[in-house]
Amino acid sequence: MKRLTLLLPLVVIVGFASAGSATTVAYWRFDDIGNPVIDNPAGTVAAGNPMPDSDGRTVWREAAHDWSGNGNNLTTWEYSWAGFNWSSDVAAAQVPLTGVANNLSMASTGGCCPAAMTWSAQSLPGGINIETITPAAFTIEVSFKPTYDVANGYHTIVGRDGRDVAIGDGTKAPLYFSTRPGAAVAIEFTDMAGLNHQAVSAAAAIETGQWYNVVGVSDGSTLSLYLNNILVGQTSFSSTDPRLAIGNGSGADWQAGTWTLARGLWNGGHVDRVYGFIDEVRISDTALDPSQFLSVPEPATMVLLGLGALALAGRRKP
């Protein structure tokens, strides 16, 4: 039992490693606290400090490290009016699945237009390039706390840039993971066959100023939406090519295939801003079971932690 107690920290580390397995394409934690960041005006990652920006996509600065190991790091748009700070306001002090400390989130600042995005041409990912993937099955997980009025408008928490993918509607981007009018949450994507699929919650599912864990899962025939680990929307679909589309086109401020946080794309323009907090964003190229979500404790880890507590209790006996 003494050996088991000593191994508990290792169990947590192994659990975190398994969360960043080969099926994890990108994982942005916003939690490199205490580490220096190149070109960060504040010098370190810490609550209240500004996240590095790209000066309107003219220079590469890493704002959020990709914990998957693939190198799909994020940058942000322009700090002075559309940027982000690190914040100590988080959904939970630990990531439930792994038990790893969760210190920071990404918080929108400035008066307008927050936007964070991948930029593979500059970040040069050494593993899977998230901008080129077209998975037939995928999972998107995100924790977010909206500070805008969730009853009004469309707001894209996680998106993918592109256009001319959906049959009969060239304005749509390939992906919107968003809130919708009436305080609903939704996941919508267009597949490589040009078919659009949506899973939408009932109205009044969320409130302004509250943290939520939202997960969208496609297994190639069913699109499911989870809110705080509860299934709130689901649709079955059939397609000759159910893979997530990359999309077409580019512009001065976007390129097809780019993944975004806190904004979407519609008709080739930046739209649907998210004001508030975003944290623990993980994208996987497989359909995860709910027991594998970041917001759900891993049973094996919980059992071992329980055994460890028993061991410690046993050691206290006279």
- Identify the pLDDT of residue 42: 55
- Identify the pLDDT of residue 141: 98
Per-residue pLDDT of 171-214, as tens digits, reads 999 999 999 999 999 999 999 999 999 999 999 999 999 999 99
Using pLDDT thresholds of 50, 70 and 90, give the confidence band for residue 3.
very low
Q: How far apart are CA 303 and CA 318, in angstroms?
A: 25
Burial class of 207 by CB neighbour count within 10 A (0 to 12, 13 to 18, 19+): exposed
Of 57, 37, 46, nearest to 105 by C-alpha is 46
- Higher-confidence residue of 36 and 12: namely 36
Token duo for residue 7: 């191994």
Q: How far apart are CA 70 and CA 308, in angstroms?
A: 33
Of 139, 96, 102, nearest to 296 by C-alpha is 96
Q: How far apart are CA 58 and CA 129, in angstroms?
A: 21
Q: Name the helix (H) or strand (E) containing 247.
A: none
pTM tops 0.85 = yes
Q: Could you give the percent of the chain with pLDDT greater than 90?
A: 81
Reply yes or no on whether the pLDDT at 129 is more than 90.
Answer: yes
CATH number of the domain within which 235 lies: 2.60.120.200
Using pLDDT thresholds of 50, 70 and 90, give the confidence band for residue 37.
low
Beta partners for residue 183, in sequence order: none
Reply yes or no on whether the pLDDT at 85 is more than 70.
Answer: yes
Q: Which range marks the domain in which residue 193 is found?
A: 2-315
3-state DSSP assignment of residue 213: strand
Q: What is the DSSP string of 4-35?
A: HHHHHHHHHHHHHHHHT-TTEEEEE----TT-
> In the predicted model, what is the mean pLDDT of residues 274-300?
92
Beta partners for residue 250, in sequence order: 255
Give the chain's domain count.
Answer: 1
- Identify the pLDDT of residue 29: 97
